[in-house]
Amino acid sequence: MMTPMRYVVLVLAIIISLHFILSFSHEEYGRATSLSRLSEQFGGSSPQPPYKNGVPEEYYVPSTPPVQGRRANATFVLLARNGDLNGVVMSMKQVEDRFNKEFQYPYVFLNEEPFSDEFKERVSALTDAKIEFGLIPKEDWVQPDWIDETRAAEERKKMVQNNVIYGGSVAYRNMCRFNSGFFYRQELLAKYKYYWRVEPDVTFFCDLHYDPFLLMEDQKKVYGFTVSLYEYPATIPTLWDTVKEFINANPDLVDPDSAMRFISDDGGETYNNCHFWSNFEIGDLDFWRGEAYSKFFDFLDEKGGFYYERWGDAPVHSIGAALFAKKDQIHFFNDIGYRHNPFQHCPQGDLHKKGKCWCNPKENFDYEWYSCLKRYDALFA
Ligand SMILES: Nc1nc2c(ncn2[C@@H]2O[C@H](COP(=O)(O)OP(=O)(O)O)[C@@H](O)[C@H]2O)c(=O)[nH]1
Ligand SMILES: *[C@@H]1O[C@H](CO)[C@@H](O)[C@H](O)[C@H]1NC(C)=O
Ligand SMILES: [Mg+2]
């Protein structure tokens, strides 16, 4: 039992300590506000750790200036979905670090849906170069009405049963057809002659200290690659028959100095399935826009093989380049160390050192059994 006296003492003790606590914190509060007023005078706005004010400007050295002198009429091109964002910034950061922070070529992003604000902000953070975002017109993207959807669906089903990669996907087919015949006709690309195609989730291993677009221009190249390999025959059962039909109808469009031997081992009778891997391309847009390739694409498109089969933009571009350009207008960028899963080109010997490459030179696809580089070499033997 508590006596009334003890009770009074306890209550008094509580009141007194409450008074101390309140007056103390009030004093602290006063000191804090006067400190914040003081720091405001020195540029801070509220109490915060010093690092939050940033490193003073005078510590920064000028970033590498853009290369002065002759520039090419060129741009990077990235086709991507909003969902590809993380892979896109990984690729783009490497493009910037290995090459473009010095050269400052612009970027064109393309998508059949509007890019999100988040997408635009995160890619814009990576470069001072100009970036444009384009919306692909529906008619350049979706499966055309004249495709028999019943037949297309049946073929997709068969491909799924046969485990053909992307065999069931209409979106992938839209993408392949777009890359084959529409990207170079997009409004945002009209003002450019050369492009460098970049995909999400790729790796660039080496520094590039020259301008590949100027090399293309000076040497009249129209197509540049880093990896070549065999296409899955199941995706293109009737492609070569269609190509032969086109050649027979337009024999003079084929260049007499063409790279036909890269794509056929029997003078054009059959396709050997070799193609340049189109996830990396440095090319001349005017070559695709020219008469030969335009006619070629329209001819292929009418056959419907982009939907009834699963014709890829890699074999379509490669066959176009191999037929309508001169073989020496197709360039192997031996010094560009590049990976798109699961294959990589890693520069060898002096080139490895020259580019300060970080890939393992032993991991190099060039003369693996599944590579077509030996056939490219043989063009010049
Ligand atoms: N906007 C858009 N881009 C796509 C679509 N599908 C693929 N892509 C892009 O097309 C390119 C090839 O696609 P990817 O998934 O890398 O195919 P893979 O390299 O053949 O396995 C990449 O740049 C993708 O970001 C799509 O439906 N819409
Ligand atoms: C760049 O190339 C395109 C396509 O050939 C052309 O229309 C345009 O005039 C060129 N621009 C410059 C500045 O040369
Ligand atoms: Mg890819």
Nearest CA among 203, 225, 305, 291 for reference residue 255: 291
What would the pLDDT profile of 113-132 be if each residue is shown by its tens digit? 999 999 999 999 999 999 99
CATH class of 22-378: alpha beta
C-beta of 84 in contact with ligand 1 (< 6 A) = yes
Whole-angstrom Cα distance, residue 316 to residue 328? 19
Q: Compute the distance from residue 175 Cα to the ligand 1 centre, in Å.
A: 6
Q: Is 281 a catalytic residue?
A: yes
C-beta of 217 in contact with ligand 2 (< 6 A) = no
Structure tokens at 52: 């939050």
Whole-angstrom Cα distance, residue 46 to residue 180? 56
- Which atom of ligand 1 has the smallest separation from the CA of 111? 1
Q: Compute the distance from residue 198 Cα to the ligand 3 centre, in Å.
A: 9
- Residue 12 backbone zone (phi > 0: left; psi -120 to 50: alpha; other: beta): alpha
3 state SS of 339: strand
3 state SS of 107: strand
Q: DSSP E strands: which ranges in 136-193?
A: none
Nearest CA among 278, 348, 282 for reference residue 75: 282
* H helix and E strand count, the chain: 15, 12
Whole-angstrom Cα distance, residue 163 to residue 191? 41
List the catalytic residue out of 96, 155, 231, 281: 281
The pocket of ion ligand 3, defined by CB under 5 A, consists of: 199, 279
Question: Would you list the domain boundaries of the chain?
Answer: 22-378
Whole-angstrom Cα distance, residue 225 to residue 180? 16
Q: DSSP E strands: which ranges in 51-91?
A: 74-79
Q: DSSP E strands: which ranges in 128-172?
A: 131-135
What is the per-residue pLDDT for 29?
Answer: 47
What is the DSSP code (8-state) at residue 254? S
- Which atom of ligand 1 has the smallest separation from the CA of 171? 27
3 state SS of 225: strand
What is the per-residue pLDDT for 11?
Answer: 62
Structure tokens at 111: 């998508």
Pocket test for ligand 2, best of 191, 220, 289 (most atoms within 8 A of CB): 191
What is the per-residue pLDDT for 27?
Answer: 44
Q: Compute the distance from residue 199 Cα to the ligand 3 centre, in Å.
A: 6
What is the per-residue pLDDT for 274?
Answer: 98
What residues have CB less than 8 Å from 292, skipping those under 6 apart? Answer: 250, 253, 320, 323, 324
Pocket test for ligand 2, best of 73, 77, 194 (most atoms within 8 A of CB): 73
Q: What is the pLDDT along the chain (381 residues), one digit of tens a residue?
A: 456 666 666 665 666 555 555 444 444 444 444 544 545 555 555 789 989 999 989 999 887 778 889 999 999 999 999 999 999 999 999 999 999 999 999 999 999 999 999 999 999 999 999 999 999 999 999 999 999 999 999 999 999 999 999 999 999 999 999 999 999 999 999 999 999 999 999 999 999 999 999 999 999 999 999 999 999 999 999 999 999 999 999 999 999 999 999 999 999 999 999 999 999 999 999 999 999 999 999 999 999 999 999 999 999 999 999 999 999 999 999 999 999 999 999 999 999 999 999 999 999 999 999 999 999 999 999
What is the per-residue pLDDT for 253?
Answer: 98
C-beta of 165 in contact with ligand 1 (< 6 A) = no
Q: Compute the distance from residue 280 Cα to the ligand 3 centre, in Å.
A: 9
What is the DSSP code (8-state) at residue 248? H
Nearest CA among 324, 214, 314 for reference residue 273: 314
Question: Dihedral sign, CA of 237, 240, 244, 245?
Answer: positive
What is the per-residue pLDDT for 31?
Answer: 46
Q: Compute the distance from residue 186 Cα to the ligand 2 centre, in Å.
A: 14
Report how far apart the first and last C-alpha atoms of the chain are (Å, whole number): 110
What is the DSSP code (8-state) at residue 371? B
What is the pTM for the complete model shown?
Answer: 0.88
